[in-house]
A and B are shown apart, each in its own frame.
Chain A
Amino acid sequence: MNAWQLLQIPWRSTYPSLRWFAVVVFVLCSTGAIAIGAFADGPGAMRGAVAMYGAGLTYLWAFFFSLGLLLAIDARQLRLPGIQRQINASLGLYGVLGIAVPLFAPGVDWSMAAVLALFSVVGLAFAVMPRYLAVVVALTPSLANALWSRLDLPGIDDPRFAPWAALIALVLLLVCAWRWRQLLSAGNRQPRGWSSPMVLQFRKGSWGHWNCIGDNSQLGQRPDWLQPGVDLTGVGPAKPRKSLRVALGGWYLPQTAGSYGKQFALMFGILAIPAASLVLLSRIKASGGADFTATLEGSLIGALSSLTVMAAPAICIFSLLWLGKRWQRANAELPLLALLPGLGNPAGVKRLVLRTVLGLPLALHGLLALLLGMVMLCWHGHAYMLSFMLLAQLGGAVVTTAVLLNLFGGRALPPWSIGLILVVAAALTMASLLLPALALGRHPMVQAMPLLPLLPLGWLLLAGAMAWLCRRGWRGLMQQPHPFLPG
């Protein structure tokens, strides 16, 4: 097999969407690095260029080259000879090219090879290590940045850093090689849940679990201690709403107090890591002269705003994906519910479904809005700024109602249409987060102020469109003989 064929292996062993996205990211990073190297002046230029190119390398190794492992696992399972050797050779070739090519650029010191190797190996480690370690890896840049400024360590463009980079890269490479072999030999007994590496998540060609929400296979992978404890007390015809929640599953599932406690403890445990990092970073930065309380307050407002920004579309997406799966499958809950006696007449069942299904997401939107209201009361100075967040939350609730009503009305919106609505809602939400911050923040931008009245107008237009969709879904639901017909 010649070099050209070796270079084609990763290209042919990945999904088109992943491969093209990787190319776009790498080209953007490389172009950015060249632009910084060519046009920026001063001592930070080289550091910026290396960091930019390194980020591209890390992405490629984390989300593109690492997928060679999936091919290697399949080849081993199918007993195909020689494939694994070719994958190793291909990755080695890409590793050398990724490091060597930029060294020929003018002004680049050969000691940079070690730094670029480190960037590459960190990407690979992120992909093959268990996911609970990947969470820590994701926080590394912020922590490293804070530590570097605090301890005055040599920068990545400093020749003194090269030996350290080489040593860390070598250790990480050995760990990656060990892990690679371990995953390769695991065959069908791959680690699951949080022990599963990121690279195994790419089996279905998408980053993250959005496509898998609502899949029963996900439930099967979860360890027993993470399974919710179902509360079946009182369910039956006397409590149709609770019964329907049992049948809907997911976050609708009624759980025992102990189970809720466990889930909340886990959630707070996960949130504690970024919170602790936030406090740590604030303390480190504060030692440089800044006011710790002001930094913390700013960070908290930022975190709260980000939470609401992420939560509003997440509530909509999660509800839609979960219920969409339920309302798509002819062999799952729909036939069971349609033929289950004791839920009442069709009109009553429609009301029951609407109350149960819309109740939880709308209650969550309401809870977030309430949280924002309380923050507005506590921080009077930021009330005007936060009122835009409140607007975003209400807008999110309208979007959730519209898409769910159309799902139950047998008029489920096509994916492109839902995507368009979510993109518009996300853009408005981001604008509601950033514009008020720019216009009313500590260093106000005068140009941003006139744009603020456009935000309520934008939300109003979206709400109008959603009202039309709500009416469409409602009429569809009323025309349906019963609500358990697949969409």
Chain B
Amino acid sequence: MNAMLRETETAAPLAIHGLAHCYEGVNVLAGVDLVLEPGSVLGLIGRNGAGKSTLIRAMLGLLEPLAGSAFVFGEPALALSDACKARIAYVPQQPEALAWLSARQMLDFVGRFYPCWDKGFAESTLERWQIPPNKLLAKLSPGERQRVDLIRALASQPELLVLDEPAAALDPVARRELLREVALRAGESGTTVLFSTHIVSDLERVASEVAFLHQGKLLMRCSVDETKERYARLWLPARMSAAAPNAGLSRRRHDDGSLSLVVERDAQGRWPEAANLAGARVDALGLEDLFVEIAE
């Protein structure tokens, strides 16, 4: 059974086990496990410095983690074959690659390496997104650079699209166009998408699943629609705080001694027992509130 499970995981677009890494003695990733199902759109959310970029880079074999393993389409991330690479597209945060080329030259250059390169898409999107094709990348604004790199990623028609804060430098119009394109790819072509962000509305718009990364640990993962049903804030007055469940995702004590916890329904769909005490209150949480409650 375990062997079968492992086989399924290793054939997944992305699978990581016990991934750990640190910079200058500070733990950035502390044993992260994650498997991405084909066709899913996973939004990775977390505060600045939570380890999102490091996790993404370790997943794709762009850094060698201190511990753990990462697989892309069943191949070790640090030794990907050309065939596997052709199925992946990755856009880093604030891309700066090949600044000495113009947008058209860069797309032409990169496109020659991808067997499924969609040249027409690249040309038409450059025009649609109003990016001067012959202007040097070094002379484009950060937002334009980001969009050129997104075109580069999408034109390769990847099966796995990994975007690190793709909307960080984009204006609202460009951000909406990007999200529409991502949703289209996921919906029509079955592209698996992993993107990191701290813009919660972006997650709600396109992600099918959300994963919270906090201080190097994956605190929770569930479908976006499920979060409202599955998680809530339990408020307990000071006199009842001793009855608080131990297994809360976050725990905050207020000045008046009352306690706020983020709690999860159990397998039978019930809130913890403390929620039924007189004076206790269960508040529904939106995705943003949930993020803030956990990350604070």
Contacts and interface: CB of A to CB of B under 8 A. Distances in A.
Instruction: For chain B, give the interface size range.
Output: 35 or more
A486 interface: yes
Name, among A216, A227, A228, A344, the residue most crowded by chain B CB atoms within 10 Å (CB to CB): A216
A469 interface: no
Q: In terms of DSSP, what is the predominant structure of the interface of chain B?
A: loop
Nearest to B112: A236
B93 A338 contact: no
Contacts of B90: 335, 339
A219 interface: yes
Instruction: For chain A, give the interface size range.
Output: 35 or more
B147 to A, nearest CB: 15
Contact of B80 (A249, A250, A339, A485): A339
Contacts of A342: 82, 113
B97 A486 contact: no
Interface in B69-86: 78-83, 85-86
Nearest to B78: A481
A336 B98 contact: yes
Contacts of A243: 109, 112-113
Nearest to B140: A220
Contact of A232 (B83, B88, B94, B109): B109
Contact of B79 (A331, A332, A336, A482): A482
B82 A344 contact: yes
Interface stretch (B30-38, B40-48, B60-68, B214-222): B60-68
Interface in A332-347: 332-336, 338-346
B100 A335 contact: no
Contact of A236 (B96, B100, B113, B139): B113
B100 A253 contact: yes
A246 interface: yes
A345 B136 CA distance: 31
A232 B80 CA distance: 26
B105 interface: yes
Contacts of B138: 216-217, 219-220
Nearest to B152: A336
A330 interface: yes
A220 B139 contact: yes
A391 B285 CA distance: 73
A232 B97 CA distance: 16
A485 B62 contact: yes
B57 A330 contact: yes
B112 A482 contact: no
A308 B70 CA distance: 49
B95 interface: yes
Interface of A: 216-217, 219-220, 227-228, 230, 232, 235-237, 243, 246-247, 249-250, 253, 329-336, 338-346, 480-482, 484-486
